[in-house]
Structure 1
C-alpha cells in the first residue's frame, strides 16, 4: 500500500512539474524536418597539440562533443586512417559528450578524424593534427635534468614543467636553438626531488645582461623559516649568483654544509664583462669534499669544504634567487640561459669542455 502511495505521489509531482515547466517535454520530431548536419567540437587533442611523455608508446584520452538539431545516429573516430571507436548509443540524442582512451599512441605526426551522422543521413567530419614527440634520451652519462628552452620550459629527462613566476619571461635566439629570456621579476621553479645527490654538476650557456647589477642564477636552498618574506638561509643547498665587480659581473657559488656555509669566489678570474654581449659557458661541480666553478671550460674557483647538506632543498630556481635567496637582492636576471643540464656526478674539466664543444658545433 505504501509503495502504491509513493508511486502516486511521484507521478503527481512529475505531472505538476511538467505543467509548471520545471521539466521540458520530450517530443518526437519528424526526420524530414532535420535541417542541419551534426556539429563536432574537439576538447582534446586540439589542432597542433604536442604530447610529450617519457615513453615511446602512451595512451591518449580523446574528448569531444557532438550536437545535432534532431538526433545523432552514430559517431566514429579514426586515427591515421583506421577506425578506433564507434558510438551508437547516447544518453542525450541531441548532445553527446564523448570520451575514448586510445592506448597505443606512438611517436610522430597523427591525424584524428571524427565523423558524425544524424538520422536523416547528414554527415559532418572534423579533423585535428597533433604530434607525439619522441622522448628525449640523455646523451651524457649521469644526466638527470635537461632544459633546452626551445620554445617551452619543459625539463625533458623526467618531463617536468616548472612554475613560471612573475611576468615577461620568454624566449630569444639561443646558443643552440632558442633560449630562456629572463625578465625584471620572472623566474622558473622546478621540483628537485631527483637532484639532491651525493654529487652534483650543472652546465649551461649564459648571455649576460648586467641590469640589474646582481641576480640569482641557479638556487637550491631550504626554506628560511625565521625569515619567510626575505629568505637567506644558507646552511643547506647551494646558491649560484652574480654581482657587480666594478664594470664587470662576478660569478660566485655559496654552499651550505649543514652548520654553516662555504664560499667559492674566484675574484677577477670569475668576472664577465657585460659589454662583450657574448655567450659564456658556466659550470659548477659539487662533491662531498670539493666545489669548482668553471667559466668557458676554465677553473675560476676551487676549494675544499665539509660536504653539502641537501635537507629540505626540494626546489631549484632558474633565473633568480627567489624565493629562497633574496635578502641581499639576488633576484631575477634579465640575461639569457640556454642548454641547462644537471648531472648526479662530478664532471671533469675535460667532460665540461667536451659538452661545450658539442654545443658550439
Structure 2
C-alpha cells in the first residue's frame, strides 16, 4: 500500500507542477470560430535589399514570422516561383518564428514569396523583391577600397561595412548618391590590407563651410599621452580643412615615424563653399614624395621620407575623430562621393583619368 501511495502522491505533484507552469490554457475552438487569416512578416530579406558579397553564389538566411488567431497549418516558401521549403510541424501553432537557410543564391534579381495557411483554409501571401549584386571587380590597378555611398557605407572591394558614429545620411552625389556628414558623425573602417609603402586616395567633395573646420580623411595612430584629445602626428596622415577667410583650405599632414610633414598649398588649395559645386580631391604618397590634387591639378607637392603606419589600424571618413581631435577637426557636414583607395602612387594623368571617368 505504501508503494501505491507514493506513486499517487508523485503523480498529483507532477500534475500540479505542470498545471502551474503551463503558459496558455488550451481552449477548444471550432473551424467556424477561426475568423482571421494568418499574418506573415518577412524580416529578411526586405523589399529592395541588395546583398553584396565577394562570392558569385552565397547562402541566404530567410527570416520570417507567421501568427494566427487559432492555428497555423502550413507555411510555404517560394523563390522565383519555385518552392524551396514547406513547414507544417510547429512547437507553437499560433506564432511561428523561423529562419530558413537557402544554400545557393546566385547573382541577379530575386522574388521571395511566403504563403501561410491556417486550419480553416485561410491563406496570406507576402512577397519581397531583392537583389544579389554581382561582386565588385576593382576598375583600376592597385585599387584596394571603393565606397560609392549609393545608399550604404560598404566598401565594395572587401564588402566590409564601417562602424557608424552619429547620424550621417545620404544626398545627391556626383554619381547617384553620396555620403552626407553631420555634426559629431563619422565612419570608421578597419585598415587591414589598405596600408602599403605607397598609398593614394581619391574622392569627390561638396564642401559645407559650417563648421568652419573639419576632418575629411584620417588614418592615424592613437595618442596614448592624450587619449581624450588625440593628436599624434608621427604616423599615418590627416587630410582636413580650415577656414581661410570665406574659403575652406584643404591641408595634408603626414607622419614619417619621427615627425610630421606638411603639404599646405595655400590659396591654391582653397575651395569656395558659396560656389555650391563638387570638386575632386586626391592625395598620393610614396616613399620619396607626397602630393595633394584638387580637380586634377597639383596644389601642394614635395619630398617626403616615407610614411609610417605603426598603430594606424582605423580609417575615419568625414571627421578627424577619434585620432585627430585636439585642434577641433571634427564632423564634416559636407558631401563625399566615390571614395577609392590605392596601394600605389598615382601620377597626375591617372588622377585626371579617374576624375574624367566619373564626371557627369
Q: CA deviation at 1:57?
A: 1.6
| Equivalent pair of 1:236/1:308 in contact (CA under 8 Å) | yes
- The structural deviation recorded for 1:220 is 0.4
Matches of 2:226 and 2:351 in 1, distance apart?
A: 37
Whole-angstrom distance in 2 between the partners of 1:112 and 1:32: 32
Q: Is the 8 A contact 1:242 1:249 kept in 2?
A: yes
- The 3 A distance-change label for structure 1 pair 10 and 98 is farther
C-alpha offsets along residues 106-125 of structure 1, whole Å, 9 cap, x if unaligned? 22222111122233333332
The answer to whether the 8 Å contact 1:18/1:24 transfers is: no
Residue in 1 that maps onto 2:301: 302
1:30 positional shift: 4.3
Q: Which piece of structure 1 moves more, 49-58 or 351-360?
A: 49-58
Shift of 1:337: 1.6
Query: Are the structure 2 counterparts of residues 52 and 21 from structure 1 closer, same or farther at C-alpha, using a change threshold of 3 Å?
Result: closer
Closer, same or farther: CA 37–228 of 1 in aligned 2, 3 Å: same
Moved more, 22-31 or 47-56: 22-31
* Count of matched residue positions in the alignment of Structure 1 and Structure 2: 358
Q: Distance in 2 between matches of 1:95 and 1:41?
A: 11
Deviation digits for residues 19-74 of structure 1, max 9, x if unmatched? Answer: 55755454654445544433322222223323222222211111222233443332
Distance 2:6 2:132 in 1: 56
Q: Show CA shifts across 1:220-244 (max 9, x none).
A: 0111111011100011100111223
2:262 is matched with 263
Residue 157 in structure 1 maps to residue 157 in structure 2: yes
Residue 267 and residue 66 in structure 1: after superposition, are their counterparts in 2 closer, same or farther (change >3 A)? closer
RMSD value, Cα? 2.4
Q: Quote the offset at 1:355 in angstroms.
A: 0.6
2:353 alignment partner, SS class: helix
* Equivalent position SS for 1:354: helix
Cα distance in 1 for residues equivalent to 2:210 and 2:123: 60
What 5-or-longer segments of structure 2 have no aligned partner? Answer: none
Task: State the shift of 1:246 in Å.
Answer: 3.5
Quote the Cα distance in structure 2 between the aligned partners of 1:344 and 1:269: 27
CA distance in 1 between counterparts of 2:72 and 2:17 reads: 28
Q: Is 1:345 equivalent to 2:347 in the alignment?
A: no
Structure 1 residues 10 and 314, CA gap change in structure 2 (3 angstroms)? farther
Is structure 2 residue 30 aligned with structure 1 residue 68?
Answer: no
SS of alignment partner, residue 40 of structure 2: strand
SS in 2 for 1:310: coil
CA deviations on 1:124-143 (whole Å, 9 max, x unpaired) are: 32222222223322211111
Equivalents in 1 of 2:112, 2:293: separation in Å?
A: 49
1:10: how far off?
5.4
Q: 1:7 to 1:59 in 2, by over 3 A?
A: farther
Matched residue SS, 1:196 = coil
Q: How far 1:14 sits from its partner (Å)?
A: 2.8
Match of 2:131 in 1: 131
Match runs of 1:16-55 below 5 Å: 16-17=16-17, 22=22, 24-26=24-26, 29-31=29-31, 33-55=33-55
- Rate the CA distance shift 1:90–1:10 in 2: closer, same or farther, 3 A: farther
Q: Please name the residue that 1:98 is paired with.
A: 98
Once the two structures are overlaid, the 10-residue window that deviates more, 340-349 or 156-165, is 156-165
User: 1:346, CA displacement in angstroms?
Assistant: 0.8
User: For the residues of structure 2 that align with 1:212 and 1:199, how far apart are their CA atoms?
Assistant: 32
1:114 corresponds to 2:114:
yes
Which residue of the partner structure matches residue 179 of structure 2? 180
Deviation larger for 23-32 or 45-54: 23-32
- Tell me how far 1:203 sits from its aligned partner: 0.6
Pick closer, same or farther for the CA change 1:4–1:46 going to 2, 3 Å.
farther
1:196 aligns with 2:201: no
Residue 5 to residue 66, structure 1, CA distance change in 2 (3 Å) = farther
Q: Give the drift of 1:12.
A: 2.6
Matched, 1:229 2:232: no
| 1:91-120 deviations in Å (ceiling 9; x for gaps) | 223332222100111222221111222333
